[in-house]
Structure 1
């Protein structure tokens, strides 16, 4: 199916049959991405009297309970409820199901203390001529398939420098997608500075962060039509599936 749409006074087409899924699924296995010492995803067949919800174990259907930590084991989208007392549901915040996204690749900069962070200066250089979009997707370099199964806990993975986050907020990005466990440093004494900057003032009513995406190397930097699918779960975060579509002007 091909659609036509306009963006920035230019007409574009996109083929909806050629979507590129950049999510990491939640899987019941050890080789699953994991961070913040979260328990691994697992599921168990429901048992009630003579009934067992497992075809493999002799039941009529598969009927399982799942145990899942949304923040720790796969692609997820979160809202202000992640850092607020009210724990607002991301399902009630996120409404921008389609939009134009800019995909950008960046090398985190290593500081003297060993931290690796995405700096404002790097973004300013890379984004000098980029058109404004509602969605920004950041792919960190180097990039490799191990991101889909890496155990990040205790490794001090790269993060976004607070000054860089302020700059992104000033530019008006509503939805940030990134291939890291968090926009903040793993151990930051609970400050979560970038989260608080991103959801400052009125932004908390409609802005989201999506973490632990994976963008293969063959997907080039540039503009895409994005369909961000967020599970209808009333929680501060929920599993999500971002799907990219190449766009062509005509």
Structure 2
């Protein structure tokens, strides 16, 4: 299926039958799963009670499991500014006014070493050709397949500066997708400077903007413009598990 659209004054076509899934699977019960923020593994446990067991393998009629997980710590998730505000804004409400398809720039960046940290600074964007879509997906290198199941806690992953975020805001990027557990430094004393800069909290909050973390972009996908379908679970929470899908232009 070919989708025709006009963006930035030019006509484009995207092949919706070709999909690049950027999400990581939420798995439980000892299966390989990405994790961050010191959380326990996700759990998927059959419901039991009064002669009922929610497991066909144990004699039940259906599989019926309770699932325990943390959207921020157990895989691909999308968050709204409610992640850092006193009142918990809902990512579900946020997505009621976000288009189902939007132009997305895929870019590959190499973090720079700064004081022993791996940092994504604003000057990296000088080499990224424009114009940029209202969404930007960032693939960091190295891009090993182990990112799909990596335990990120206590590893001091790469992070973004507030200046980097300011440039995105100035360029009207509304939706940022990254293959890291956070846009901020793992241990930063609670400052979350990159989050605050992107969402302009508290002075000029960007309510319709989102950050998606823990994606994985295959090496086979070249940098450039795509059409993004950002699918987010309808959860009344600051963040929810999500499935970002890129469709290539033709």
TM (norm. structure 2) is 0.94
3-state SS, counterpart of residue 204 of structure 1: coil
8 Å Cα contact 2:139-2:178 kept in structure 1: yes
CA shift digits 1:68-93 (9 cap, x unpaired): 10000100000011111211111111
1:18-167 alignment, distance < 5 Å: 18-28=18-28, 29-94=30-95, 95-111=98-114, 113-124=115-126, 126-127=127-128, 129-167=129-167
**Following the alignment from structure 2 to structure 1, what is the Cα–Cα distance between the partners of residues 246 and 168?**
21
8 Å Cα contact 2:104-2:132 kept in structure 1: no
1:210-221 alignment, distance < 5 Å: 210-221=212-223
1:187-198 alignment, distance < 5 Å: 187-198=187-198
Q: Report how far residue 15 of structure 1 moved.
A: 2.1
CA shift digits 1:148-173 (9 cap, x unpaired): 01111111000001111111111111
CA shift digits 1:197-236 (9 cap, x unpaired): 1111444310000000000111000000110000011111
CA shift digits 1:157-197 (9 cap, x unpaired): 00001111111111111000000000000000001111111
**Following the alignment from structure 1 to structure 2, what is the Cα–Cα distance between the partners of residues 204 and 147?**
30
Runs of 4+ in 1 over 4 A off after TM superposition: none
Per the alignment, residue 233 of structure 1 pairs with: 235
Per the alignment, residue 174 of structure 2 pairs with: 174
3-state SS, counterpart of residue 187 of structure 1: coil
3-state SS, counterpart of residue 86 of structure 2: coil
Unaligned runs of 5+ in 1: none
**Following the alignment from structure 1 to structure 2, what is the Cα–Cα distance between the partners of residues 199 and 55?**
46
**Following the alignment from structure 1 to structure 2, what is the Cα–Cα distance between the partners of residues 159 and 225?**
26
TM (norm. structure 1) is 0.94
Unaligned runs of 5+ in 2: none
